[in-house]
Amino acid sequence: MVLLHSLILSASVAALAVLSNAAPTPSDSMTIKPTPTAHREPTPTATTEPNPGHPHAHTDACGVLASTNYTELKYKHVVDCYNSIPFDSAQAATALSTVLTIFKDYYVFTDSALARTVPEPFADAPYDIVGELEKIGRRKYTSDYKFHNDILEAVTGLGDGHADYQSMYLSVRVYLDKAKRGYDDCIVETINGEDALSYLRTYARDVFGVSHDPNARLNFMLASQSYDTASGLFTDYPGGFSQRFTVPQGPYLDYRLKCPHKADTTELREEWRVLPQIKASYTDAASYVANICMEPPVTIGPPAESGPLRRRNEPVHRITKRAELEPTPPPIGPQFPGADVLVTGNATVFYHLKNQPNTGVLVCYTFDPSDDAAEKDVILAGLKAFHAHNVTNILVDFQGNTGGSVDLSAFLVQMLFPNKNPLDAAFPCDMRVSKPLQNLAKLSYGISDSSFFDAHEYINFSNGTAVYENNDLFDKPVTLNRNGRRSLWTEITTLKFPPIESKHITPVASFPWTANPENIRILTDGRCGSACGMAAYFWTALHDVAAYAIGGTHGEDLSMFSFAGASVMEFSALQDFYKSADLISPLTGLPYKNKITFPWLEMYGHGRTTPLEYDAELYRPRHRLGFTPKNARSREVLWKEVAAAAWK
């Protein structure tokens, strides 16, 4: 058991080493992709050392940050600038009131989070998000950073990968400095003097908020591989522990390593490396606030996209390699000698195992391709290619897929298990209702372009597959008491899905694996979020497909997926809905240009009464696997292990 723990950790160290020589490059982009590794850090304390020498004679800490060459940026530059930004109580009151209203009246899981007990693999204590936010309102602040970070912490405490509060301080990214020093496969014995595994488990439990399962959180934190569409390769990703989006507690981490072929242990003090994500358009604290944090001129008008299904209801995108990471060297031949690539798209790749020629591996690394329709053709082409190669067994690799289009997810589900009834791949759903939301829904009825709250886009479960012909869904809500909190809800409904075209569904009917759970397996590491979790739920719970879940902690359960049961929206979209309906939003707004995302529609497993997000039983896999240095570094090795275990 100790060895397996160590192996999991060593994979992390290996991936860190890959980043070692990366020359950081400042990026021009102001866009900060929401991180799939939402987490909270205790607020750092101000540093007192004098500035390291540099040519600019700035006395303002943010001026120093802006004018220091990125190659010389240190932890303290960031901390000092952030700590120098004064707290503005009027602005803070506005921001807090907005966040409070969202979590009181719009967030779907406010009541579910209050549950007294949760079954394994979840390990949540009851969580009162409204109470936590109210506590912030009663606290005295001097630091603006601390205030925003406390809101982030409160939201992170929900363990909901869909709920996120970005403080505008996320624009500086921090890495562990790594030089290639030959530490691959060394065992990490301690971190900051504590047993390494307990240190990481504590961090995963207390600081990381992307799943209700601490072992799935651990997988999000540790290094892993992700598929890179541009290069067509699986590349190393350092994970949320060694790549932070908020300021870590101290300027460095201390590691003790035990390396093979070495009698002594190695002590390492690893300083954080700072990688700016925006061009420094500020020269002091005041211009940092004005140019980086404050709201730009208000844009008016409804959002460009339309309809709840056609939107990307997904804040957590797949991990993309960024400009500052060292490009992976071009491959010398294919990445895997034993697995041929048959078909590639922008969300899926189809591999054929040479030594197990009846096995095809369908890697689905995101549900967020640039073009859903084109990807559907790719999926059909991939399945046809499997058939042409005499494949009978399919392994679906979902590792690192943090979701995307619900429509594409439902499509993939049905390409392996075609619907018997029209709504087989639809989720029973409901939504929170409040008076201002009812007003919005009234004006949105029949105009789906203007908001998500158009009853005509939802199906009346009591009337076959017909959509609502009036606004009763929102006008006649029901009162539910959940965990001691009473709220208004819509009745159970579901989103209107476009039917799958016969050009897609007809050819798959005769494939040997179609509707045959014995011939299909899922491989996941719990980092299968949102739309990915929905697909995994359908196959495992309704079609009896077995899943192999890898990683986490040896001997403990591990979720197959995370944050599976909700559709997510950005706060600004909600404001736009009110605006385009000519209504005054009950939400004040945000003084800063920051982004809040939150789930607004929750889903249920079929015949279940607990929302899927909290229905822990449905998250348990049938089989467990552990990472080894070999299978952590090569998907081919891993696929062969699973195929051998699945189809003896």
Ligand X SMILES: *[C@@H]1O[C@H](CO)[C@@H](O)[C@H](O)[C@H]1NC(C)=O
Q: Which residues bind ligand X (CB under 6 A)?
A: 69, 71, 345-346, 369-371, 374-375, 378, 389-390, 460, 462-463, 466, 468-470, 472-473
Name which of 28 and 617 has its Cβ closer to ligand X. 28
How far apart, in Å, do the first and last CA atoms of the chain sit?
26
Name which of 198 and 370 has its Cβ closer to ligand X. 370
Cα distance between residue 14 and residue 160, in whole Å: 29
Which residue, among 175, 178, 193, has the nearest Cα to 241 in the 3D structure?
Answer: 175
Distance in Å, CB of 371 to ligand X, minimum:
4
Q: Which two tokens stand for residue 131?
A: 């109470």
Distance in Å, CB of 641 to ligand X, minimum:
23
Distance in Å, CB of 388 to ligand X, minimum:
6
Q: What count of other Cβ atoms lies within 10 Å of the Cβ of residue 238?
A: 22
Distance in Å, CB of 469 to ligand X, minimum:
5
Cα distance between residue 119 and residue 277, in whole Å: 40
Name which of 126 and 327 has its Cβ closer to ligand X. 327
Q: Could you give the angle at the alpha carbon of 266 between the alpha carbons of 264 and 272, nearest 5°?
A: 175
* Cis amide bond preceding 477, omega within 30: no
Distance in Å, CB of 639 to ligand X, minimum:
19
Cα distance between residue 404 and residue 367, in whole Å: 4
Cα distance between residue 550 and residue 621, in whole Å: 10
What is the phi/psi pair of residue 272, to 5°?
-75, 140
Name which of 141 and 461 has its Cβ closer to ligand X. 461
> What is the residue type of 323?
A
What is the phi/psi pair of residue 26, to 5°?
-70, 145
For the chain, the residue count is: 648
Q: Which letter, b or e, does each residue of 328-337 get, where b requires 16 or more Cβ atoms within 10 Å of its Cβ?
A: beeeeeebbe
Name which of 37 and 490 has its Cβ closer to ligand X. 490
Distance in Å, CB of 360 to ligand X, minimum:
12
Q: Which two tokens stand for residue 276?
A: 């700016």
Name which of 381 and 546 has its Cβ closer to ligand X. 381
Name which of 56 and 262 has its Cβ closer to ligand X. 56
Which residue, among 482, 495, 363, 380, has the nearest Cα to 429 in the 3D structure?
Answer: 495
Cα distance between residue 242 and residue 356, in whole Å: 37
Cα distance between residue 490 and residue 189, in whole Å: 52
Q: What count of other Cβ atoms lies within 10 Å of the Cβ of residue 14?
A: 18
Name which of 45 and 370 has its Cβ closer to ligand X. 370
Name which of 28 and 469 has its Cβ closer to ligand X. 469
Cα distance between residue 16 and residue 80, in whole Å: 27
Distance in Å, CB of 421 to ligand X, minimum:
16
Distance in Å, CB of 493 to ligand X, minimum:
9
CA atoms within 13 A on the CB side of 288: 26
Distance in Å, CB of 358 to ligand X, minimum:
10
Cα dihedral sign, 8-10-12-15: negative
Name which of 21 and 470 has its Cβ closer to ligand X. 470
Name which of 207 and 353 has its Cβ closer to ligand X. 353
Name which of 142 and 462 has its Cβ closer to ligand X. 462
- Residue entry with tokens 């950073």: 145
SS3 291: helix
Q: Which two tokens stand for residue 179?
A: 């030089």
Cα dihedral sign, 370-376-381-382: positive
Distance in Å, CB of 56 to ligand X, minimum:
11
SS3 234: strand
Distance in Å, CB of 440 to ligand X, minimum:
18
CB 451 within 8 A of CB 444: yes
Distance in Å, CB of 266 to ligand X, minimum:
28
Name which of 363 and 545 has its Cβ closer to ligand X. 363
Q: Do strands 623-625 and 546-550 pair parallel, antiparallel, or not at all (unpaired)?
A: parallel
Distance in Å, CB of 477 to ligand X, minimum:
11
The distance between the two most distant Cα atoms of the chain, rounded to a whole number of Å, is 76
